[in-house]
Structure 1
Amino acid sequence: MWNIQDQILTASSKLEIEVNILTLEEREEIKNSIMFKFLEDNQLRKFPLFDKIKDYVGVEIADSWMWISDFINENTEVLFFKPDDEREYYRLNNGENLVSIIGELFNVEFYVTNPCADYLLGYNHSQCLIATGTASVWLENHQEYKKRYN
């Protein structure tokens, strides 16, 4: 099994991108917000989250994870994974940096939200990008999404 934290820290050093690991309290606050806002039966403790999200928009296009930078821009973001893969949550202060870090990782299921958990984005090994909360309208109106599904 690969070590995601090592990959993230190596990538952040290589790309000169600041990455911060959230405290346990910060992590729990985000988990709880996601659970109550977006998941069926408050099932945050059960992964993959893809199976638990109440209302989402999704697209199955290779490398659609790169579109995330169009949505998050230069905002502070939180990156996290299935707990079996990586338990820590990572804060990045720029959306483009987040996409750069993800580009350095092995193909792994990941999730992105902001510190207020206004949305949840996810990408899995099946190359499916999902969006809920404020991100669902963005994805539904993304040019590539429209090209594929309209």
Structure 2
Amino acid sequence: MDRFSLRAQVIEAAETHHIQYVEIPPKEMNQIRNRVLEKFVAPEGRKSRFFWEYMLPPRVSVHNEEGWRWMGEFVDESEVILFFEDTREEYGFQLFSGPDLVEIVGEMTLCEIYLTDPEFSYLLVHNHHDFLLSSGAAVSEWLSKYKTPEYDWQSRSRGK
């Protein structure tokens, strides 16, 4: 396994911090990714590398380089599926808490990070432009609290 691959980075971080995880193999991850795309992405964006540009409402985005840390707050003590662009990493990972997620992501080279839950009730994305994006009622409602000049760089610049 290439030690620079996203898969290797997740596994190394999980093992270093003694975090429980379940690796999701490519075939199963493709099925999960397709379900997420069907539910949260407009048809014209489902083949796009940056499908987060086509997320369906209800959606909210906040521009903040530390936004990825907030994902742990939303996940809290729930199970979450962490995955990446299929061209960068075919494997996904099931994690079991928000703090574990933040610990792992904090050890990685940041890129597009995608989260959903086993019920596919939301899509949460942190992209390479430092946007935290959401689709799904609960997650978008939660992220709205960060859509303020205090947290959101775009709101701050519009407020001046």
- Shared fold per TM-score greater than 0.5: yes
Q: Within 2, Cα distance between the matches of 1:33 and 1:80?
A: 13
Q: Within 2, Cα distance between the matches of 1:54 and 1:81?
A: 19
Q: Within 2, Cα distance between the matches of 1:67 and 1:16?
A: 21
Identity %: 26
Tell me whether 1:8 sits opposite 2:7 in the alignment: no
Q: Within 2, Cα distance between the matches of 1:33 and 1:6?
A: 25
Counterpart secondary structure, 1:85: coil
Residue from 97, 101, 105 that aligns with 2:104: 101
How do residues 11-90 of structure 1 correspond to structure 2 at under 5 angstroms? Answer: 11-24=13-26, 26-41=28-43, 43-55=45-57, 56-90=59-93
Does structure 1 conserve the Cα–Cα contact (< 8 Å) formed by 2:81 and 2:93? yes
For the aligned residue pairs, the C-alpha RMSD in angstroms reads: 2.0
For this pair of structures, how many residues does the alignment match? Answer: 148
Residue from 100, 123, 128 that aligns with 1:125: 128
Q: Within 2, Cα distance between the matches of 1:36 and 1:124?
A: 20
Residue 79 of structure 1 aligns with an amino acid whose one-letter code is L
Look at both structures and tell me which one has the larger radius of gyration over its CA atoms.
2
| CA apart distance, 1:32 | 3.0
Does structure 2 conserve the Cα–Cα contact (< 8 Å) formed by 1:80 and 1:110? yes
